[in-house]
Structure 1
Amino acid sequence: MESRRVLMEHLQNVMPVHDDSAPLNTGVLRPTTEDLLKECPRFRVLVIGQSGVGKSTLISQTFGVKQAVAEDDEPGEADIGKELISLQNDRFVLHDSKGFEPAEHNNYSSVKTFVENRKHQPNIKDQLHAVWLCFRTPLVSHGECLMERSAERFLREDIGVIGDIPTIVVFTKYDRLLVSLQLQRVSNPGSAAEEYLEKHCIKPIQEFTGNPGLTHLTVSCEDGEHRQGLEKLIELTYEKVNAAFGSQLGIPSPVSVVTQMAQRVSPRLKVEGSIAVGKQRYWRALTSGANFWDHTILECLSVIHTDIVSVWNFNDPSQYLYSTEFRELMMNLVGTIDSSAPRLPRTDGTSKICESGASLLTLPFKAGLGLVQWVHEAYRRLWVT
């Protein structure tokens, strides 16, 4: 922690503030994420839930933002058609439905119309990528019910409108149930909570929808010992998004990648996203050299660095992570990761890779494959770190 503090203080002293939103990469060496984000710049999620179920906290903690608001936000009624975004995380767009409140006669049909319209958008960036159906875990002993009648009607009659859009039922505020069971001095509150959830939440949803396989999970967003479920929620969402939008010839779907970019609770998905993006272009280039021809090592590492930072999507408004100073720090750290790893000769910013006798371009094919294997093993070791 102390070393990280010193590093950050050093960065703040030496790094310039950048006004642009992304670094410029010229020529044929362009970051893979640049092409993916042109096709789908944001993960688009619809969150349906009655007021008070904890939607705002769920979104805030999953995507690491204070709040998501419309660009032309004005006081008044929530509008499902508004695109809610956040300056702290530009990789997701939220559509919020207040659920099916008893007094909201028009909201029921507006949800169906909105979903239908999004399903028929020609471009994937405009389609819905996921739907979260949020219900507060009810305390039956307090007279609470799982949902209002209009929500039951939607699940019974119109859940099919969602179709094959990745959908997850989220039971929020699960911590309230655990605390209630503890106050009742239940001997095994964890096991009792699972039985309670099965009886009062899961089975009713299955009966309403007629779908015993509908994905569901519990979430507690409050700080403390009962906070849980956020990482599992985003990982389940990613799995369903990846299955729905798929990949072609081993190339990751832009929707899958932007889902990994948008979330800020699962480091595992960030690592996997970085590797998937790297495999698409750079690993194949290790043996062919087609994309790296006549470029310096610094130029090659620059685009790889850009892709990694883009996937991790830190809240970095001053663009410190894209600065020359930070790139140089990363270059110097490479040599300390694995002392037994093969080394490329250090070059300055003007030396071309093809001028080095030990460069990737002049390596025999078998040697190139060996380097690919080393990179793969290095990734496996570093994942644990």
Structure 2
Amino acid sequence: MTEAQSPRPTTDEILAECPRFRVLVVGRSGVGKSSLINYAFGINLATVAHGKRGTCNIEDEIISPHNDHFVLHDSMGFEPGNTEEFRKATEFFKSRGKKVPLKDRVHAIWLCIKVPHAGSRVFETGDEEFLKLAATAKGNLAFCNNRAAAYALNIAVPVVVVFTQFDVLYSGMEMALTEEEMKLPDQGQRLCSQRAEDEFKKICLPPLHNIDPTPRYARTSGLGANNSPDRSALADLIRTTLHLLGETSGFVGKIFTSAQNRETVWITSAIAQRGSAQANIDGSIKIGMKKYWRGIASSTRFPGFKLEKCLNTLHIDIVTAWNFSDANKLLRGTAFVEKMRTITQVVVPREDELKDWFDSVKNVVGAAGTVSAATHPIMFPIVAGIGLSGIFINWLATVYKRTPETLRLFMGYIIDLTLVLDQLFVIVLALGPPKLLTQTEIDEALNKYTSDAMNTVHAEIRDYCNEATFSQICRSNRAEERIKELIRNHRVKWEETKPQV
């Protein structure tokens, strides 16, 4: 082993097997597929796909330069009386089933159905036949004919029904408000939301359950006046898709021949999407737990490697999991890496060593931050204006050892970087597809994390990793659980806010 060697990033292995999440989107013209794809995967579909009916070929691989971990196949939907699109779709499914390599299979299908007006038909005949295929694949044979069952033996693919343009239903409820209801804006909004929800359940769900008693569905809204989608609904669609891909029993086993294949596709899909920060966090955790996070206090993966090389590997895996549109590779650049190390270095030394580590920096002590009300206060160096400590740089050049300092380093770097990227995710939402990343957004995310959460996070890491409990932590190998807990407690909770309509 040479000094230049580093542990191999887990994402290299995963993406070598399945570099792109392959999704088939089925939907008639005007249903809102383009907006859905643009915001779910952070691309500009108009720049890479044909927009006119008649030019779309389901076999075409639509790959965007804005997100190279995603490939789209587009089916124009099943118009009344047109059986050709349905025939093409079923043949396509058969050609992209489990008999082909994992990277070439269709991994998920989104069937887009526009929320209808009251009294309108929800599903056309072709949509119903399509859903029967999916139902047969899950084993609901009673709802399907033999022809569909025969097809499904070769085309078992996770299907999510996406009801689009829910906001139109909401707008209809707004127009029906009485004068008395309109006088109370907050009350009126609540009434519209509830009535739209009730109407959706009344007109959309019964026909779906008649085809498949255990469907997977989500709903989305179109673009509002501020040109932004319903982020909560979009995140729900992504969570629904990932949950279906991650199922360990049922028909998913017909698609993925091994648990490893299933996890690989799940991680690739989590990387590809750009609509749910929680999915990025979950993907980052799954990537880390495959090798380097599990038993991180007493790692069998890091010994023999220098600490700096280990940090490089963690950095690559976490940044890759978030898949920002980062054409200039700013998140992998030296400047960003140095800023992240500047943040994490603060949590590494013991409290009595803080002055020695940072004695070259003025005013190193005095920033707010205490471990807890039940313990004595621990003062942390001010991050703004601090460079990398010489002692810290020299320490990173040493080989991995099982010490409290090393545990604080890895816990701190994983949590710090994840929470900075979580802040960055929320910031770039305002940019819209393709959400090109600049240094301005990165600096804003760094500033928000260091001013809002860093001191508390570091205090809680110190609480957990103190010398008195280090040996117990090594024996239990549960430090990764504390990492996940701290990320969960301190991440931005934007997805839990009230849905827009």
- TM-score, scaled relative to structure 2: 0.62
5 Å matches for 1:14-93? Answer: 27=5, 29-67=7-45, 77-93=55-71
Matched, 1:234 2:238: yes
Which residue type is aligned with residue 286 of structure 1?
I
- TM-score, scaled relative to structure 1: 0.80
Q: SS of the residue aligned with 1:229?
A: helix
Larger RCO (alpha carbons 8 Å, 6+ apart): 1
Q: SS of the residue aligned with 1:294?
A: coil
Structure with the greater alpha carbon radius of gyration = 2
Paired residue for 1:4? none
Q: Deviations over 1:131-160 (max 9, x none)?
A: 11111001137xx53233333444457863
Kindly indicate whether the alpha-carbon contact (under 8 Å) linking 1:285 and 1:292 is maintained by their aligned counterparts in 2.
no
Q: Does 98-107 or 77-86 show the bigger shift?
A: 98-107
Q: Give the 3 Å change call, closer, same or farther, for CA 65–338 of structure 1 in structure 2.
A: farther
Structure 1 residue 301, shift from structure 2 partner: 0.2
5 Å matches for 1:82-161? Answer: 82-102=60-80, 104-140=82-118, 144-155=120-131, 160=136, 161=151
Q: Does 344-353 or 36-45 show the bigger shift?
A: 344-353
Matched, 1:384 2:387: no
Kindly indicate whether the alpha-carbon contact (under 8 Å) linking 2:134 and 2:157 is maintained by their aligned counterparts in 1.
no
Matched, 1:190 2:193: yes
5 Å matches for 1:207-286? Answer: 207=210, 209=211, 211-223=212-224, 227=230, 228-243=232-247, 244=252, 253-284=263-294, 286=296
Q: Does 296-305 or 237-246 show the bigger shift?
A: 237-246
Q: Give the 3 Å change call, closer, same or farther, for CA 44–337 of structure 1 in structure 2.
A: farther
Kindly indicate whether the alpha-carbon contact (under 8 Å) linking 2:271 and 2:320 is maintained by their aligned counterparts in 1.
yes
Work out the percentage of aligned pairs sharing the same amino acid: 30
Matched, 1:172 2:181: no
Which residue type is aligned with residue 215 of structure 1?
R
Q: Deviations over 1:154-211 (max 9, x none)?
A: 445786345542111111000001101110117633333233223322111222x2x1
Structure 1 residue 63, shift from structure 2 partner: 0.9
Kindly indicate whether the alpha-carbon contact (under 8 Å) linking 1:296 and 1:349 is maintained by their aligned counterparts in 2.
no
Gaps of 5+ in 1: 1-24
Kindly indicate whether the alpha-carbon contact (under 8 Å) linking 2:134 and 2:158 is maintained by their aligned counterparts in 1.
no
Paired residue for 1:351? 397
Which residue type is aligned with residue 121 of structure 2?
C
Structure 1 residue 356, shift from structure 2 partner: 9.6
Paired residue for 1:11? none
Structure 1 residue 255, shift from structure 2 partner: 0.6
Size of the aligned set, in residue pairs, is 356
d(CA) in 1 for partners of 2:279, 2:67:
17
d(CA) in 2 for partners of 1:356, 1:337:
16
Matched, 1:317 2:333: no
d(CA) in 2 for partners of 1:33, 1:267:
18
Paired residue for 2:173? 181
Kindly indicate whether the alpha-carbon contact (under 8 Å) linking 2:23 and 2:73 is maintained by their aligned counterparts in 1.
yes
4+ long deviations beyond 6 Å: 71-75, 245-252, 337-345, 355-359
- Provide the aligned C-alpha RMSD in A: 3.8
d(CA) in 2 for partners of 1:222, 1:61:
10
